[in-house]
Amino acid sequence: MSHTTLCERHQEKMTFHTTWTTEQALALFELPFPELIYQAQTVHRKFFPEATMQLSTLLNIKLGGCPEDCHYCPQAARYNTGIKAEKLMSVDSVRAQAEAAKEAGATRFCMGAAWRELKDRDIPAITAIVKEIKALGMESCLTLGMLTEKQAQALRDAGLDYYNHNIDSSREFYDKIISTRTFDDRLQTLQHVREAGMKVCCGGIVGMGETIADRANMLVVLANMEPAIESVPINHLVPVDGTPLSDMPAMDPFDFVRTIAVARIMMPQARVRLSAGRVKMSDELQALCFIAGANSIFYGREVLLTTGNPEIQRDQALLARLGIECI
């Protein structure tokens, strides 16, 4: 199949969802950079004709102390990163942060807790937080680790819009970065989220030493989810001292943009979020990512869980220079 035909096939119907193969994904990665960006921008304009950027704010509502061994994460209790475990934030404190995010222009409020899984004892506090966010008229998203069916339903009943649970990388590379939770554990939680009726936010991290084939395979898993996922965060590894990936060399910027572009083509209807790592990206690199199809960013706080995030003024200035409307 020609590259042109491949691109046209995935634009044909806005509701069409295909099954992708590794070979097809790799063919996109191997395109000349100008051709790949052209195809990604063509798909992007088909499904998002207006130049808009979704602004989401991410708050760490429970810092540190996680028992997992994710090699990239400074919140893992086993790594010496200088982060001390804290208790879950109060409902009032979270609401105050959400109000500030809304005032700054964010329309979606995302919250993360450094847990392996949600405990039933924490459900009353978590559902109260969700209800407060919804009362502000904002979209709500949580990432709390693994969920049971019953817990997923409780979050849905509280009004939660999205649940984030990243697959992190390909199945083949996964056990090189995490041993305390399996790839299938992650898929099971995502199934519980879907069955409860919530929207799925699911993506991964690149720059951890994975191959292009690993990136392709990760995107194939994401793109083949049924129903199609609505939100896809693409994180650029931020090496943190004390973690096993602290000395990982920087990823080539064009390879990162390629990942964004392939994600856009393979998941045309999703919001592709430019996530961790933006603080070290130039305005020009971010603009390339937006052209490649990223149309959502984390915004409005100096940190994303524990790593840096650009200042509000810088984001506002960049989006204004590019003529992109914030939503």
Quick one: 77 exposed, middle or buried, by C-beta within 10 A (0-12, 13-18, 19+)?
A: middle
Residue 16 has pLDDT above 60, yes or no: no
Predicted pLDDT at 215: 97
Reply yes or no on whether 108 is catalytic: no
- 34: cis peptide before it, omega within 30°? no
Annotated active-site residue 9? The verdict is no
Percentage of the chain with pLDDT > 90?
A: 79
* For range 177-185, the mean pLDDT: 95
Give the domain CATH number at 152: 3.20.20.70
State residue 80's pLDDT score: 87
- Write down the catalytic residue from 95, 264, 271, 273: 273
Q: With contact defined as beta carbons under 8 Å apart, do 178 and 145 qualify?
A: no
pLDDT at 12 (0 to 100):
44
The verdict on residue 9 lying in a domain is no
274-285 pLDDT, tens per residue? 998 888 899 999
Catalytic residue among 201, 215, 258, 278: 201
Q: Residues 236-281: pLDDT tens digits?
A: 999 999 999 999 999 999 999 999 999 999 999 999 999 988 888 9
Is 66 among the residues known to form the active site?
yes
Of 66, 95, 156, 301, the active-site residue reads 66
Give the count of domains, the chain.
Answer: 1
Q: What is the pLDDT of residue 312?
A: 83
Sequence-separated (6 or more) residues with CB below 8 Å from residue 148:
118, 192
Q: What is the pLDDT of residue 104?
A: 86
Whether the predicted pLDDT of 1 surpasses 60: no
Catalytic annotation, pick one of 7, 95, 110, 271: 110
Amino acid 22: pLDDT? 96
Q: Which of 73, 215, 271, 289 is catalytic?
A: 73
pLDDT band (50, 70, 90) for residue 4: very low
Task: Give the whole-number percent of the chain exceeding pLDDT 70.
Answer: 91
Domain boundaries, position 62: 20-326
Q: Does residue 110 have an active-site annotation?
A: yes
Q: Is 273 tagged catalytic?
A: yes
Structural domain includes residue 1: no
Does the structure show a pLDDT above 70 at 8?
no
For residue 278, the 8-state DSSP code is G
Task: Label residue 306 by pLDDT band (50, 70, 90).
Answer: low
Active-site option among 7, 70, 202, 289 = 70
Residue 141 among the catalytic residues: yes
Is 201 contained in some domain? yes
pLDDT, position 11? 44
Looking at residue 18, its pLDDT comes to 77
| H helix or E strand, kind and range, residue 60 | strand 52-62
Mean pLDDT across 99-128: 93
Specify the higher pLDDT residue, 10 or 195: 195
End-to-end CA distance of the chain: 37
- Count other C-beta atoms under 10 Å from residue 133's C-beta: 29
Is 29 part of any domain?
yes
Q: What type of residue is 292?
A: A
Q: Would 278 be classed as within a structural domain?
A: yes
pLDDT digits (tens, 9 = 90+) for 142-173: 999 999 999 999 999 999 999 999 999 999 99
Domain for residue 98, yes or no?
A: yes
Tell me whether residue 76 is in a domain: yes
What confidence category does residue 311 fall into, taking pLDDT thresholds of 50, 70 and 90?
confident
Residue 8 lies in a domain: no
